[in-house]
Structure 1
């Protein structure tokens, strides 16, 4: 059927070459011809072709220049260049500038050119299928992310309602609970809610655009400490902020990074530690900020250090298993803003994270 045939545009300023090409391949392919680059551009506005074959040496423009001019608007057609010259520099220019698939010498051989066209069409089909698969995967991923985000928000509402009921029973002493079942229920709900909030953080990090604004690390870190200090009031937080210059960065993602790391520093303290500490240091320079978060908690086994940033990895060396997603979110958030993270830890003695974040102060007005 005609609509399933390979559509080829052949461009050559020599009419007898156009006629010869049409006569040779008209039974095998759907052929279109043009005697100039200008005529070819007009034809391409109304016809979608699979393959474009262009002569390199034409009066007004070369084949390579023609391919270069159309590559943005028409990236899909496969390009084949015909030339009577075999200069290495021409070949390199054709590949780099014109993005050609193949380079065929003139006068062309019927069987050689037919094989080249067949291979070019296979390339066209492969690219088309890959493009369709990518579009399909992007759509599926977007729908999945939206579903997870929506579900997570919907789940939080009933959880908060249950927590509210538990608090009411405590206020009016309407429930006798000698075995502590209510406390167990509350603990499970808080763990589930924490996991849901991590999912929401992950979604927002993957979807929201990066925005740069002025950040004052002293106030930002005090806000983080205030959020997590009630979980263990015995912890001594030590701050050392050196910010002699302005810093611009993504407040949301930097907050996510700090919150997750400080949360872990609080959560994974040793239960028998008499002097639990978390040291937070920041040094801001014109081009970057370096942040150190150090604790004297339970530490991380050396064999686990290479895995802690993987999604759902949980260390087995403690009785406080986390969600397995917090440090993965930290890594992803840093990737979004061009930052890095490294970790040093000694089991039983503590852990130190070092984060570097580019200062975007010079890039924004």
Structure 2
């Protein structure tokens, strides 16, 4: 039975071999034959060949040399070498460089050669399918990049304007002039902004290549506390950084990790707590940084401790997107870090992080 659309080129300097091949396989494949490498190249310029069979011992150009010469210009066709004598070095070199798919000794066995052609065509289809899938993935990736750009600029820009207007209303003493409406606008705007920021963090964490830079934890932690503490000025921070050695690490992901944990430590304080506290400790050694972040907030149920790092997990006593700790875990995985958590309900939570020092 003829296998449709399988175009096979056979190159051999002996005409009787060409005729025998065509007689044996013309009913199975679309056969093209050439008496020399130069003639074979002419055929390839006009026909989309999928499988090439070439004899090794030909004048002017051997089969291996021909395959090597078309690697860049015709990379897709699958190559089968026919050899009537043993040339181990030439065969090994050709196989190692990917110039041939298989070699078959002459005189060939029809069944062996037929199976080799079918397998070669399957390999050809797999190669083409893979290229199409890669092209589709690249297109999807480009579309995703444009979508993320839209989120970070076109969507967030008007949202920031709304938040700015709410702040102006507060400054002019009009925040409570319309009942709860301004408060609802502020709450919804902040929540949407939070979701957008977490989406961007998740995307960048998965896309961004690690860049190792020197990190000053005193400066970094201080800046992050300033950024996140504006939401609750009543929370008191105690920061203790012990860093006498340089620390080299991925600044972007470490900022994401610490930022999320500091934000949570503030967010999950008890509403009626008069002495809200967050303690941050950093100890840097030659091989790692050990960081602890403790609060006296609402705590986490024991049965939830193993679930808090899963995507979209939210306990009944906590609010949020369920993305923050998931992003923390993903970022730590990217930098070979580790995180442990202990918590007592209504007494607080402690996160302990270990991040390798990449200074060596």
TM-score by length of 2: 0.76
Q: Give the whole-Å Cα distance in 2 for the aligned partners of 1:86 and 1:299.
A: 75
Tell me the equivalent position of 2:243. Answer: 242
Tell me the equivalent position of 1:295. Answer: 294
Tell me the equivalent position of 2:116. Answer: 116
Tell me the equivalent position of 2:32. Answer: 31
| 1:292-345, Cα deviation, whole Å (9 max, x unpaired) | 23324444445545544444x2221423x2222233433444455x43333333
Tell me the equivalent position of 1:125. Answer: 125
1:299 and 1:345 in contact (8 A); partners too: no
Alignment of 1:330 with 2:331, yes or no, is no
2:22 and 2:31 in contact (8 A); partners too: no
Q: Describe the shift of the 1:356–1:9 C-alpha distance in structure 2 as closer, same or farther (beyond 3 A).
A: farther
Instruction: Map 1:157-172 to 2 at 5 A.
Output: 157-172=157-172
Q: Give the whole-Å Cα distance in 2 for the aligned partners of 1:341 and 1:64.
A: 52
2:175 and 2:183 in contact (8 A); partners too: no
Q: Which range is displaced more, 223-232 or 208-217?
A: 208-217
Q: Describe the shift of the 1:55–1:330 C-alpha distance in structure 2 as closer, same or farther (beyond 3 A).
A: farther
| 1:265-299, Cα deviation, whole Å (9 max, x unpaired) | 322334466463332314242xx543423324444
2:10 and 2:32 in contact (8 A); partners too: yes
Q: Give the whole-Å Cα distance in 2 for the aligned partners of 1:335 and 1:69.
A: 45
2:235 and 2:266 in contact (8 A); partners too: no
Q: Which range is displaced more, 110-119 or 204-213?
A: 204-213
Tell me the equivalent position of 2:351. Answer: 352
Please state how far the C-alpha of 1:150 moved relative to its aligned partner: 0.7
Q: Describe the shift of the 1:78–1:228 C-alpha distance in structure 2 as closer, same or farther (beyond 3 A).
A: same
Q: How many residues align?
A: 351
Please state how far the C-alpha of 1:223 moved relative to its aligned partner: 0.9
Gaps of 5+ in 1: none
1:156 and 1:193 in contact (8 A); partners too: yes
Which has the greater radius of gyration? 2
Q: Give the whole-Å Cα distance in 1 for the aligned partners of 2:264 and 2:152.
A: 22
TM-score by length of 1: 0.75
SS at 1:342's partner residue?
strand
Please state how far the C-alpha of 1:116 moved relative to its aligned partner: 2.8
| 1:62-116, Cα deviation, whole Å (9 max, x unpaired) | 8779768876776533343545689999999987664865554543222432233
Q: Which range is displaced more, 55-64 or 324-333?
A: 55-64
Tell me the equivalent position of 2:340. Answer: 343
Gaps of 5+ in 2: none
Q: Describe the shift of the 1:357–1:64 C-alpha distance in structure 2 as closer, same or farther (beyond 3 A).
A: farther
Tell me the equivalent position of 2:256. Answer: 256
Q: Which range is displaced more, 89-98 or 201-210?
A: 89-98
